[in-house]
Amino acid sequence: MTRMHEIEAKKDPVCGMSTDDEALHIEHQGLHYYFCSSQCQERFSANPHLYIGQAGIPSPKQQGMCVIKKRTIRLAQQPSKEIRQQLVAELEKMMGIKQVDVEDDLIHIQYDLLEATASQIEEAIQQSGAKLGHVWIDHLKRAFLHYIEETELDNLEHQHESHGCHRQ
């Protein structure tokens, strides 16, 4: 392997950052991919062709695509000042987060779906010490949102496959 290829091999395919972390890597189709964070590694593992494309077809990420989402997430209660600061800090350090605003018990967030998912955002919220809304409708909304995001990502990943159909 040439030095140039080795440097390219350690560029995170999800966010584009260079990394020296040998622990965060995946072998996919005989090639090694390295990641700057477990968040990027999770995104790649779930939908690798969003980031590396397919034979002769560049991926949405390689084409420079962003899938910006604006969401409002309800917390179980208004966070204390300390929890609110931890919450904002935890979310802002994530890849793909464009804007975070906490207003009472609501989090207004804007993010790139190719770099962060609602599931990952919810995990970061809970790590900050805040609690997500826990009434059944909140659970239902989050489950539906996860399904929509998974479907959208799957559609993006497979948008160029012909599925045996011939187009003219």
Asked whether residue 39 is assigned to any structural domain, the reply reads yes
The parent domain of residue 75 ranges over: 68-157
Residues 98 and 151 in one domain: yes
pLDDT reported for residue 160 = 60
CA nearest 23: which of 44, 7, 38, 13? 38
User: Per the domain annotation, does 53 fall within a domain?
Assistant: no
pLDDT at position 168 over 90: no
Does any domain span residue 35?
Answer: yes
Supply the pLDDT for residue 1: 41
Same domain as 77, residue 35: no
- Number of domains, the chain: 2
- 91 with 146, same domain: the answer is yes
Question: Tens digit of pLDDT for each residue in 117-156?
Answer: 999 999 999 999 999 998 999 999 999 999 999 999 999 8
pLDDT tens per residue across span 13-51? 888 888 877 778 888 888 888 888 888 888 888 888 888
Residue bearing the bigger pLDDT, 164 or 103: 103
- 76 lies in the same domain as 37: no
The sheet with strand 97-103 has its strands ordered as: 68-74, 106-112, 97-103
Pair (38, 75) in one structural domain: no
pTM of the model: 0.80
CATH number assigned to the domain comprising residue 127: 3.30.70.100
**162 lies in a domain?**
no
Domain membership flag for residue 163: no
pLDDT, residue 149, reads 95
Q: What is the mean pLDDT of the chain?
A: 86
